[in-house]
């Protein structure tokens, strides 16, 4: 939790100290997935699902930005796809929706601004921030065909990742990114640490993770300096 407070303080510092150049609004769509006991190590391979999001980006300079976003996706996984022999005996599957609100600090490796020919037309970038998510995990025991529901979970996470920004058409930009979310809970999948038929359902020493990746289309909100002066 201390790390989350430090990240939030870092974001607030940049908001207060930097002068904004431009702002953008955008939509992002792509895959979402979960990493935990039912998907212990596989990225992009155990039941990928679609996700959709909207965001507002405040460009503090040509290298730094603050982005506020709202993402909605679906998480699922199956022991049969987890490539661990003991998971076949547990034989559980997960299905749940997830909604996330986030604030991210972005760093561009190259000076970049949509439709500004004095900057680079593309740049790789990194991001890190703070988020809050809500989910209601539902497990299915595939041996007995019974469903196990859990109480809704509202918890913080730390998003981080990387991507690329491109000029697209005029005041439109295109981003490609991948981000992973570190959570502080081992109950994202609804698994309890209790033993069942001689097996421990979850490993409480490792918290669960989730991911959003995607392609976004961004529109640069024009300022007065972007518009040609009216002739008198």
pLDDT tens per residue across span 44-81: 666 789 999 999 999 999 999 999 999 999 998 887 76
pTM to 2 decimal places = 0.81
Is residue 63 a part of any domain in this protein?
yes
Contact 114, 171 (CB under 8 A): yes
Is residue 68 a part of any domain in this protein?
yes
Q: What is the CATH number for 195? A: 2.40.160.20
- Pairing type for strands 172-183 and 153-169 reads antiparallel
Residue 62 lies in domain: 2-226
Gap between the Cα atoms of 206 and 75, Å rounded: 18
Residues contacting residue 162 through CB under 8 Å, at least 6 positions apart: 124, 125, 126, 127, 177, 178
Q: What is the mean pLDDT of each run of 10 residues along the chain (232 residues)?
A: 58 50 92 85 73 96 95 88 60 90 97 92 97 93 80 94 95 96 89 60 74 96 62 42
Is residue 231 a part of any domain in this protein?
no
Domains of the chain: total? 1
Is residue 201 a part of any domain in this protein?
yes
pLDDT of residue 210: 94
Q: Is 90 exposed, middle or buried (0-12, 13-18, 19+ CB in 10 A)?
A: buried
């Amino acid at each position: 939790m201390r790390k989350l407070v430090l990240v939030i303080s870092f974001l607030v510092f940049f908001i207060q100290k930097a002068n904004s150049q431009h702002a953008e609004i955008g939509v992002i769509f792509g895959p979402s997935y979960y990493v935990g006991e039912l998907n212990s190590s596989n990225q992009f391979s155990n039941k990928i699902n679609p996700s959709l999001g909207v965001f507002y980006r405040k460009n503090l300079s040509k290298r730094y930005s603050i982005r506020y976003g709202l993402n909605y996706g679906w998480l699922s996984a199956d022991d049969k796809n987890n490539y661990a022999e003991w998971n076949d005996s547990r034989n559980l599957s997960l299905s749940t929706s997830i909604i996330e609100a986030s604030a991210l600090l972005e760093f561009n490796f190259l000076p970049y601004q949509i439709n500004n020919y004095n900057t680079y037309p593309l740049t790789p970038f990194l991001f890190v921030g703070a988020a809050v998510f809500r989910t209601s995990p539902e497990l299915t025991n595939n041996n007995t065909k019974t469903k196990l529901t859990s109480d809704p979970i509202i918890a913080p996470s730390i998003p981080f990742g990387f991507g690329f920004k491109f000029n697209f058409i005029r005041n439109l930009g295109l981003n490609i990114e991948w981000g992973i979310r570190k959570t502080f809970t081992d109950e994202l999948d609804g698994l309890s640490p209790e033993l069942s038929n001689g097996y421990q359902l979850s490993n409480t020493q490792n918290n669960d993770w989730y991911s959003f990746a995607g392609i976004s289309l961004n529109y640069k909100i024009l300022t007065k300096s972007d518009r040609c002066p009216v002739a008198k």
